[in-house]
Amino acid sequence: MRHDTLIERVHEIERVAEKYHLLETRILGVLNFRDFFQVLHEQIGDIFGVPHVWFSLIRDEEAAAPLQRAALSSKLRRYLNLVEPESFGKLIRRTDKPLLENENLAPYLMLLPESERFSFKSLAMVPVSINGTLVGSLNLADPSPRRFHPGYNAVHLERLAVKVSLFLSNVTAHENLQYLAYHDPLTELHNRRAMEQTLEREFSRAQRYNSQLSLAFIDLDLFKQVNDTYGHDCGDALLKYIAEGMTEMSRQSDMVTRLAGDEFVLLLPETGKAQATILLQRMSDLFAEQPMSWNGEEIAVRLSFGVASALEDTVDSAAGLMKLADERVYQKKRARRGDG
């Protein structure tokens, strides 16, 4: 090898190393999906001179879970899309090597983000994994068929796959921790911490503007008997059944919370006590009419609830509103036991 050729190769290695260092510097501090995909899109495009850069994530895989819990914003749709596992598997079979294609590109059009449609003549699919599991691909496309051809030296792309996998793993872990800080892991409803913060804010707003705000405290009857008779798996399924049903029957502005055990709270802004009571009675009746199926048996669902309003004379704080609703639940339960 000629001396000047060797020197040029050394310089090329240094330039590539500098590019990766720049990428790491700009992305390691990003800890949320929204900024991560935008920065990755911009930095890889600029640093490596690729006109089209985006992400494909396999639906239901670990990295896609935080995205599927919330609707993808129009901005995020520019940088990524979700792909079904079977469809993705047909495109990339070797998960340890980038795929390079510049001829039969039609099958890869399904990877394009919904809000982005552009033409390209060559494509590199760089597999991305988290903890050894394939979760998607980083896609780079170019209008030139010579950019990513099957004979292209993919060493740099393999290195990029490792870097991006580490970045994505970091962001996913942070997003999941943030989610669990404010959500119940079983039902995926908001937890007590999230509810109390929202309740304080909504109560202050209701007082300031003299507006309606109601809170319902909900208790699942006979839950212990369900666990004792059918097992805790059935009990968990019942809690999820209740959570899904209440969410479906609530408005987007309402807040459904699993407080603890078999206790739930429904926070209803701009809703008076009478209107809230009608809603809760409708929920209770619907659950009673639609028992949960479990291993060929029907599990009866019966709720007790208490409703309180921020405009009641005895309520002077957010905690007082919740306490009054809680007291009314147990008044109902005691009365029911007395009737029995």
Token code pair at residue 232? 């805790």
Which class would CATH give 3-181?
A: alpha beta
DSSP string spanning 230-297? H-HHHHHHHHHHHHHHHHHHS-TTSEEEEEETTEEEEEEET--HHHHHHHHHHHHHHHHHSPEEETTE
Question: Using the 8-state DSSP alphabet, how is residue 78 labeled?
Answer: G
Enumerate residues 6+ apart whose C-beta is below 8 A from 144.
121, 122
pLDDT more than 90, % of the chain: 55
Closest residue by Cα to residue 40 from 29, 202, 72:
29
> Phi-psi bin for 261: left (phi > 0), alpha (psi -120 to 50), beta?
left
- Report residue 233's pLDDT band, with 50, 70 and 90 as the boundaries: very high
- Report residue 10's pLDDT band, with 50, 70 and 90 as the boundaries: very low
- CA-only gyration radius of the chain, Å: 27
**CATH number corresponding to 192-339:** 3.30.70.270
pTM: 0.71
pLDDT in the model for residue 77: 78
List the domain boundaries for the chain: 3-181, 192-339
Alpha-carbon distance of 219 to 333, in angstroms, equals 9
Segment 261-312, tens digit of pLDDT:
999 999 999 999 999 999 999 999 999 999 999 999 999 999 999 999 999 9
Segment 154-201, tens digit of pLDDT:
888 888 888 888 888 888 888 888 888 999 999 999 999 999 999 999
Provide the β-strand partners of residue 256.
266
Count of residues for the chain? 340
Strands (E) across 87-212 are located at: 99-101, 122-130, 133-142
